[in-house]
A and B are shown apart, each in its own frame.
Chain A
């Protein structure tokens, strides 16, 4: 198990950190998809509510 670094070391060395090519965050990716799905449901429910009260004839 890797040991946690001090905050000062993390911040001082962040320029040298090239983690972008090796990061894998599948859990966050799934959370992001849940967020987008929630947004889509809420957004279109509001368009439906608008259509119900402001009908175009």
Chain B
């Protein structure tokens, strides 16, 4: 598959090409493999954020395995207190820390490498990173100390330790500083004319993610600051209904930042792995615009059984508004694989309907991870998401295990797999280190995706029989009214456990080679080795 490989045969040594852009002398290099200009200051912060992201991914993954072993009713591993503690820990590490650290790395990469500009401010980048790191470490410490078993959502009037809320505020403010630095970098590139015409589509997608991030973090500040003040007994308890409304502006929208970033990564990896070109700039950019305008409103589907908001409000937000956001995902879901198909057909793989698909570089984890992410996100995440977000249908699924079954296909099967795929290029291109254990790396996206799909399908079917999400004991031992489920539920919960084990193995197959590559990997001089 060498003809598909991005390691072009005529790659030049890095010193042979002058960096383009507005960099101070000696502060940039040109990547011999991709031809992208890499700002050395930004490179340092991309590395820092990426390393922290992988650490939190591993921590969240360990918690995931223990939770899956508890939901598997035949094993039922953890006691109740540790189950809720680790569910809190897992949610925050996976949905907030791993994702936000990785996204700031992506924003710095997109702005500097794709616009050929310097990073706006190293000082701001340090400030943002230190706030995020201190907040993240404090948050995990507070949860593991057992002071904050309030789940990720921390619904009032459940009350955690004040440092729990303060550390989330630190992470949010640190991320916001990173986003401001990103916007300043885009401004500098425009001012210094380091690119011509419109920004590239990948940067446009990153700007979309950053705009949604600002709205998201605004909601986070809007609810976490008063809740923190309540925890130190300065303010009265927040109204639970208002808390839920505003909190989901943080909790769900942070996942929309993921979606925009993930789609940007799809376009980037399409270009890097097979030379895919955007089919129609206007269509793809309009789809990103639909995300900005409508995807935030879709967070209303978390409140579909809440009595405090009207039926009209629910129907508008989860039908009309959400469908326009879904339309955006459907557009990307067509244009990304279509661009890959067109590129591969142009390279001569035009036999039949799917000859291009068979000839795609499936041994390249950068490609296989990106394409599996697209398929799992669209087929499993998209289909279940639209269905569960329908107001009437939601009533038979709300707060059941079907909901985690859905979002594990979007956030894990989609976003996490895409970000892992990106890492197979970030490490060689930014860290300039060679991946060891390449056969394991090649198999990793398949193993991880298989595990996630088994896990999510098990959750979805168990939830269809009424198994509650988040609950420690499916048998409701000792409850006044006994709960009974169809016996097949235990098979599906077994799938949750087995899928969790396979996914965790896939996670280790990513983390171990990545850590070895970053800290002990063979230094790459010139072009990166072919995948």
Contact = CB atoms under 8 A, between A and B. Distances in A.
Interface string A15-40: 10101100111111111100100110
Contact of A30 (B278, B333, B353, B387): B353
B277 A7 contact: no
* Interface bin, chain B: 35 or more
Given A10-B277, A17-B278, A39-B383, A46 B341 contact: no
A45 B451 CA distance: 26
B397 to A, nearest CB: 8
Contacts of A10: 271, 275-277
A9 B275 CA distance: 9
A35 B34 contact: no
Q: Is the interface of A mostly helix, strand, loop or mixed?
A: helix
B396 interface: yes
Given A28-B338, A28-B341, A8 B35 contact: yes
A43 B354 CA distance: 27
Given A4-B4, A35-B333, A17 B35 contact: no
A24 to B, nearest CB: 7
A4 B274 contact: yes
A3 to B, nearest CB: 8
B277 A4 contact: no
B384 to A, nearest CB: 7
Interface string B342-379: 11011110000110110000000000000000000011
A42 to B, nearest CB: 5
B114 to A, nearest CB: 6
A25 B198 CA distance: 26
B334 A32 contact: yes
Contacts of B195: 12
Interface of B: 3-6, 8, 31, 33-37, 114, 195-198, 200-202, 268, 271-272, 274-281, 283, 333-334, 337-338, 341-343, 345-348, 353-354, 356-357, 378-379, 382-384, 386-387, 390, 392-393, 395-396, 464
Given A7-B6, A47-B392, 10 more contacts: A2-B347, A4-B347, A7-B36, A11-B200, A12-B200, A24-B342, A24-B345, A35-B379, A35-B382, A35-B383
